[in-house]
């Protein structure tokens, strides 16, 4: 049978495979709330503008509410022959209320309809993810306050560099996540324009009021160019870009968690709730959640690149390629939601092994820079000379198989005779971190203040 929405032009129905490649209902049914909200706002405006009768508006509104209840309750049967969510809802409405339902599509097209629904969906997704990012930031800042004075090795090249505190390290991720929130906020602000009323591509001859519909749906304004409105997907690309950067941050933290809980490091212990066992090796506690969070970032970035490739060659305005915009966005959103929730749980539960971190932070001559700084401060050596002298002392310690604090004063004096016993005060990891009081540095007082500041700001955001 010919299609009930455009059958006038057609004698025959689609091939079975045509129906299958064409249908998006399998995934775009996730737009149902947005589709119904958009249709209600559109119908109300058509009524206000005198384009349809008030009685039709009432019937449409009640009919759409009933459909929403059916879908909510899982009683709605989605039909692949009706292609997508828009036509499933509209067909059900017309079946329920007759002609009024058949007037709903006046002055609109599925092209502006889907662009509107999708923007609404992405906007909701941003709001939900933002709340989750805040949750993870609060977890990190809470733990950072707890570990503000707990020394751990700071690395460059994954080689021991200088001692930092665990709290300082955790707060680095809070900073990254805060910028991720900013990017999501920017994306939200830019996407918040209403496409509906652009119709298929050229606008409409009906006296519609797009500003009223924009206000009803919480958009800042209607889009200004009908061709752009139905064919742009940069709101989705921008969202996926922001999500990809966020996911890369989660992936780096996940990678560090994997390293930290490995036996050679044992800087942290994950809770049972966020580890898995092995079916053969009884001793195992594997950080699967962190590994999966790391993997999700590949998937999310894949979604971004996939959608960029779908959009890149499309002439204006709408082309059916654009129907393939939703799966990557849905998949990336689900992946990010899972990764954020898992990371938050892991961070809340993890326990630092302060003794192991302390031991590791004292090894590898991590306080060599403190020795060089002492030579500059006390002996007034130029930093380059101090660096050279310290290098010779480290080499000496290495030959003797001791750390810097374990060297005899006489041994140090064999390199630089003016060194005094006072130097040993700066060679402990505690002294090292305590001395890093420059703004943004790792001194425990700084870290505690930063953590407290974050927690206060996050509470009110
Ligand atoms: N299911 C379609 C999509 O997701 C709706 C728009 C269809 N428009 C069209 N001209 N065929 O993009």
**Residue 183 half-sphere exposure, CB side, CA atoms within 13 Å?**
20
Q: Is the per-residue pLDDT at 1 higher than 70?
A: no
CA-nearest residue, atom 3 of ligand 1? 323
Q: Is 24 one of the catalytic residues?
A: no
Average pLDDT over residues 45-52: 98
CA-nearest residue, atom 11 of ligand 1? 320
Q: How far does the centroid of ligand 1 lie from the alpha carbon of residue 352, in Å? A: 52
Q: Is 83 left (phi over 0), alpha (psi -120 to 50) or beta?
A: left
**What pLDDT was estimated at residue 70?**
98
In the structure, what pLDDT confidence band is assigned to residue 4 with cuts at 50, 70 and 90?
A: low
In the structure, what pLDDT confidence band is assigned to residue 461 with cuts at 50, 70 and 90?
A: low
Q: Is the CB of 24 under 6 A from ligand 1?
A: yes
Q: Is the CB of 115 under 6 A from ligand 1?
A: no
Which of 262, 271, 278, 461 is flagged as catalytic? 278
d(CA 256, CA 259): 5
Structure token pair of residue 306: 């996939």
Orientation angle between helical segments 326-349 and 234-260, nearest 10 degrees? 30
Q: Is the CB of 160 under 6 A from ligand 1?
A: no
pLDDT, averaged across the chain? 96
d(CA 155, CA 116): 47
Q: Is the CB of 143 under 6 A from ligand 1?
A: no
The residue to mutate among 18, 108, 227, 323, having the most atoms of ligand 1 within 8 angstroms of its beta carbon, is: 323
Q: Is the CB of 325 under 6 A from ligand 1?
A: no
Average pLDDT over residues 276-280: 86
CA-nearest residue, atom 5 of ligand 1? 110
pTM: 0.94
Cα distances from 251 to residues 176, 296, 300, 305, in angstroms, run 12, 8, 11, 18
Q: Is 278 one of the catalytic residues?
A: yes
ipTM of the complex in this document: 0.96
Comparing C-alpha atoms, which of 22, 23, 64 is closest to residue 41? 64
- Lowest-confidence pick of 52-61, 183-192, 281-290, 442-451: 281-290
Q: Is the CB of 114 under 6 A from ligand 1?
A: yes
State yes or no: cis peptide before 343, omega within 30 of 0: no
Cα distances from 261 to residues 346, 360, 429, in angstroms, run 12, 14, 22
**What pLDDT was estimated at residue 135?**
98
DSSP summary character for residue 30: G
Average pLDDT over residues 42-67: 98
Which of 157, 205, 279, 438 is flagged as catalytic? 157
Asked if 374 contacts 423 with a C-beta cutoff of 8 angstroms, the reply is: yes
Say if residue 55 is exposed, middle or buried (CB neighbours under 10 Å; 0-12, 13-18, 19+).
exposed
132-170 pLDDT, tens digit each: 999 999 999 999 999 999 999 999 999 999 999 999 999
Average pLDDT over residues 228-239: 98
The residue to mutate among 21, 25, 121, 320, having the most atoms of ligand 1 within 8 angstroms of its beta carbon, is: 320
Q: Is the CB of 28 under 6 A from ligand 1?
A: yes
Q: Is the per-residue pLDDT at 211 higher than 70?
A: yes
CA-nearest residue, atom 1 of ligand 1? 84
319-365 pLDDT, tens digit each: 999 999 999 999 999 999 999 999 999 999 999 999 999 999 988 89
d(CA 113, CA 105): 10
Cα distances from 21 to residues 14, 25, 120, in angstroms, run 11, 11, 25
Q: Is 363 helix (H, G, I), strand (E, B) or coil?
A: coil
Cα distances from 395 to residues 366, 392, 403, 408, 412, in angstroms, run 13, 5, 10, 14, 11
CA-nearest residue, atom 12 of ligand 1? 323
178-205 pLDDT, tens digit each: 999 999 999 999 999 999 999 999 999 9
Specify the residue for token string 């009024």: 100
Q: How far does the centroid of ligand 1 lie from the alpha carbon of residue 11, in Å? A: 22
């Amino acid at each position: 049978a010919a299609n009930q929405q455009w059958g006038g032009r057609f004698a025959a129905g689609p091939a079975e495979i045509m129906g299958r490649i064409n249908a998006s209902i399998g995934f775009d049914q996730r737009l149902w709330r947005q589709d119904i909200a958009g249709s209600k706002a559109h119908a109300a405006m058509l009524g206000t503008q005198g384009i349809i009768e008030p009685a039709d508006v009432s019937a449409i509104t009640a009919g759409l509410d009933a459909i929403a209840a059916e879908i909510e309750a899982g009683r709605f049967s989605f039909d692949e022959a009706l292609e997508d969510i828009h036509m499933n809802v509209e067909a059900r409405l017309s079946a329920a209320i007759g002609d009024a339902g058949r007037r709903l599509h006046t002055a609109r097209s599925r092209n502006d309809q889907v662009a509107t629904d999708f923007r609404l969906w992405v906007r909701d997704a941003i709001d939900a993810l933002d709340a989750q990012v805040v949750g993870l930031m609060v977890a990190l800042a809470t733990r950072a306050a707890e570990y503000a004075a707990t020394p751990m090795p700071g690395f460059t090249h994954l080689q021991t560099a200088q001692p930092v505190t665990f709290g300082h390290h955790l707060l680095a991720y809070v900073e990254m996540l805060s910028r991720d929130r900013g990017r999501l906020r920017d994306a939200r602000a830019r996407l918040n324009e209403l496409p509906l009323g652009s119709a298929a591509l050229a606008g409409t001859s009906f006296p519609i009021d797009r500003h009223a519909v924009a206000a009803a749906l919480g958009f800042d304004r209607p889009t200004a160019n009908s061709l752009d409105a139905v064919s742009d997907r940069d709101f989705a690309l921008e969202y996926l870009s922001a999500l990809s950067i966020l996911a890369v941050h989660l992936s780096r933290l996940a990678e560090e968690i994997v390293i930290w809980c490995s036996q050679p490091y044992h800087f942290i212990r994950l809770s049972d709730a966020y580890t898995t066992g092995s079916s053969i090796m009884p001793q195992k506690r594997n950080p699967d959640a962190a590994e999966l969070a790391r993997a999700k970032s590949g998937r999310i970035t894949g979604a971004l690149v996939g959608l960029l490739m779908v959009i890149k060659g499309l002439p204006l305005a709408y082309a059916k390629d654009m129907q393939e915009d939703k799966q990557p966005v849905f998949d990336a959103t689900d992946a990010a939601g899972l990764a954020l929730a898992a990371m938050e749980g892991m961070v809340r539960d993890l326990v630092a092994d302060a003794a192991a971190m302390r031991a590791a932070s004292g090894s590898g001559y991590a306080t060599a820079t403190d020795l060089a700084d002492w030579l500059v401060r006390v002996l007034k050596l130029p930093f380059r000379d101090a660096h050279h002298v310290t290098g010779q002392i480290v080499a000496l310690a290495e030959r003797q198989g001791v750390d810097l604090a374990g060297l005899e004063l006489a041994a140090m004096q064999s390199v630089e005779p003016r060194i005094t016993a006072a130097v040993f005060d700066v060679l402990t990891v505690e002294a090292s971190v305590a001395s890093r009081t420059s703004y943004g540095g790792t001194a425990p007082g700084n870290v505690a203040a930063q953590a407290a500041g974050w927690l206060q700001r996050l509470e009110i955001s």
